[in-house]
Structure 1
Amino acid sequence: MTQHQLTNRSVSFLNSALGLYNRVAVKASHQVIKRYSTSFSMATLMLSPQIRRDIRNLYSVVRIADEIVDGTALAAGYTPAELGTLLDDYEAAVLAAPAQHFHTDLALQAYGDTARRCDFQEEHVVAFFASMRRDLTASEHDPGSFEAYVYGSAEVIGLLCLSVFNQGRPVSEARQQRMREGARALGAAFQKINFLRDLAEDQQELGRTYFPGTTAGALTEPQKQQLIADIRVDLSTAERTYPALPVQARIGVIAAALLFEGLTDRIEQTPAVKLLEERISIPITTKLMILGRATVKGLSMSIYRKKQ
């Protein structure tokens, strides 16, 4: 039966049913980010409602891909040889999601709606899965492979977030380029911070050594300080682009950046040898204070722009 053959009442009922299904899908995506990333989930609270939903919808499929390569699929009984096929199948499903308006997978249902409206570029999604695939085969990186990995695993996520922020908004090419630079820099900073924070798990549980020039089970204080300095350059590059962001997204981006900057500060104060033994985190009270600082900082940028 086609929609043309349905009565108006039937069409209304079906549209209502689809609307409910979409809302449930969004709720499911929210639970993914809430359970897997407290800091990032808190930062999304500072985004406008529509942007917040879309960022969460994007995060859910990114998180699921991470779980395929980071051990959860192995724990479920898949063999290492089967993980590549599982990841390939999921990539195909994610790439096909925008063209379909109904999925039995709630994460894909929510993501497909976001990807359609925000015009996600397929090349960014492909680059992301290419980096995830490297996690199945590469245990160490040289400078070239590290740069490629960070681009696909983190910088393109920043670019996809930018597509969410700018949906339906006319943006000049100069401003767009400025925001792209910031999105890539911030994505790279987040990934490198995560590498340092998760050093123990990555090396001991997953057998991965991401940073070129370092060896498994060893990190010297000079190496740590050099990595921290590189992260701060990325954070500084991103910060210069915050005023170009739409106000609906700016405070949330600043909140995420300040949370990760706070994590960087704690890692810098932690002896390198301890990073090989424990995961550094930020207390919830400190996180709440950081969200307050982000609000003040983001609003002050808006006031400054209006005065110009």
Structure 2
Amino acid sequence: MSRTVQPAGQAGREALLQEGYRRAAGLTWRYGTTYYWGAALLPKARRRHVHAVYALCRLADDIVDDQAVVDRGDTVATGAALEAFADRFRTAVTAEEAGDPTGDDPVMAAVAATVVACGIDRECFDRFFGAMAMDLTTSRYETWDDLCGYMEGSAAVIGEMMLPVLEPTSPMAQEPARALGLAFQLTNFLRDVDEDLDRGRVYVPQEDLRRFGVDLTAADGSGRRATPQWRAFLAFQIARNRELYALADTGIALLPGRSARCVGAARVLYSQILERIEAADYDVFSTRARVPTWRKATTAARIMVAGPPTPPVRTALPGPGRTADHVAPYPR
């Protein structure tokens, strides 16, 4: 059984935090390279806070995905593991706020220090853990609004968590930050359709699949092919995704220089995934769209020198139902 200890003095505390931030950076480098290269444009003191927030979200997501395999579908056991993790987080933050940090988990100590130092609203994490718990019971979303209800806690709220780290110059930056969180996650969903199907999950609206004549879960496996119907469906979702990026772009000017470069780099890199999906003729089943590491590094370097890119021109949605409600305002 792991024992709880109080690090010996300030030196022990600093060593624990240093190790925690180092591990958080490692997790970001391994699993979230776009975040990693974007954060590289921030001053070191703020960069580590991006790593800490990402690490917390990554570890929680791993519990839902990996522990579910260990538990062989026992959602009660996986839910208990997720709740225990959330409790450890809340305990660590409460202790940090009281000025009496305890514990021997370096990453959790770093996360708690970041939450308190940056003044991140703890309610954001309640919404986040709530969305993670949804993955244990919900595998399909009927409408775009239904999917946004899930992404409210799994994606939009990540933008809210990151915003205090970025030190915006106006409160009007909040909605664009939320939109960027949604845009990033929708990009992941479109890229990872095949992988999510293997987990028994579909993170695209069922009503849209029907509208375009796509059955991803067809018994004969025909749903996992880049048919004309699938290409039309995915083109529609990519256009919706770009509308979210366009809304997010309006917030870049509300960030100080280094933060604007950080967000601009991450935005460019993530949106390039959509370009690679298009270049592969919308086939996300036989290959995974990736932006190579060298391109991420050179993009970050270019933006560091030249500044964030000029927001692209908004384009109309393709396909049936080209109305604004298909890029609907997401629920709060």
Task: Identify the TM-score tier after normalising by the shorter chain.
Answer: 0.7 to 0.9
Which deviates more, 246-255 or 154-163?
246-255
Residue number in structure 2 paired with 1:4: none
- The change in CA–CA distance for 1:259 and 1:300 in structure 2 (over 3 A counts) is closer
Give the aligned partner of residue 235 of structure 1: 245
Asked if 1:288 is matched to 2:297, the reply is yes
Give ranges in structure 1 of 5+ residues lacking alignment: 1-12, 302-308
The corresponding residue for 2:322 is none
Q: Distance in 1 between matches of 2:25 and 2:39?
A: 10
Letter in 1 for 2:93: P
Report which stretch shifted further, 43-52 or 209-218: 209-218
Counterpart in the other structure of 2:149: 148
- Residue 300 of structure 1 and its aligned partner are, at CA, apart by 8.4
Q: CA deviation at 1:221?
A: 1.0
Calculate percent identity across the aligned residue pairs: 27
Q: Residues 37, 18 of structure 1: CA spacing in aligned structure 2 closer, same or farther, 3 A cutoff?
A: same
CA contact (8 A) 1:95 1:125 kept: no
Contact 2:252–2:264 (8 Å) recurs in 1: yes
Partner of 1:124: 124
- Aligned counterpart in structure 2 of residue 180 of structure 1, from 174, 181, 193: 174
Query: Runs of 4 or more off by more than 3 Å in structure 1?
Result: 74-80
Distance in 1 between the 2:108 and 2:125 partners? 14
Contact 1:200 1:278 in 2 (8 A): no
Of residues 55-64 and 16-25 in structure 1, the stretch that sits farther from structure 2 once superposed is: 16-25
AA partner of residue 32 (structure 2): S
Residues 1-37 of structure 1, C-alpha deviations (whole Å, 9 max, x = no match):
xxxxxxxxxxxx7111211111111111111111112
Unmatched 5+ stretches in structure 2: 1-7, 96-100, 210-214, 218-222, 311-332
Query: After superposition, where does 1:106-117 map in structure 2 within 5 Å?
Result: 106-117=106-117
Equivalenced residues, count: 279
Does the CA contact (< 8 Å) of 2:17 and 2:107 recur in 1?
no
Q: Which residue identity is paired with 1:87? A: L
5 Å-filtered alignment, 1:88-99, equals: 88-99=83-94
Give per-residue Cα distances to partners, 1:68-116, cap 9 Å, x unaligned. Answer: 111x224455743300111111122222321221222222100000011
Q: Which amino acid aligns with 1:189?
A: A
The answer for the alignment partner of 1:269 in structure 2 is 279
TM-score scaled by length of structure 2: 0.79
Indicate conservation of the 8 Å contact 1:47/1:250, yes or no: no
Distance 1:284 1:164 in 2: 25
Give the TM-score normalised by the residue count of structure 1: 0.85
**Equivalent-residue separation in structure 1 for 2:126 and 2:142 (angstroms):** 22
User: Is the Cα–Cα contact under 8 Å of residues 231 and 281 in structure 2 kept in the other structure?
Assistant: yes
Give, as a single letter, the amino acid of the residue that structure 1 aligns with 2:231.
E
Bigger mean CA deviation after superposition, 182-191 or 76-85 = 76-85
CA contact 2:38–2:300 (8 Å) conserved in 1? yes
Paired with 2:41 and 2:276, the residues of 1 have a C-alpha distance of 23
Give the aligned partner of residue 19 of structure 2: 24
Task: In structure 2, give the amino acid aligned to 1:212.
Answer: P
Aligned runs of 1:207-246 on 2, under 5 Å? 207-213=200-206, 214=209, 215-217=215-217, 218=223, 220-246=230-256
- Name the Cα RMSD after superposition: 2.0
Give the equivalent residue in structure 2 for 1:279. 288
Which residues in structure 2 correspond to 1:247-266 (within 5 Å)? Answer: 247-266=257-276
d(CA) in 2 for partners of 1:74, 1:131: 16
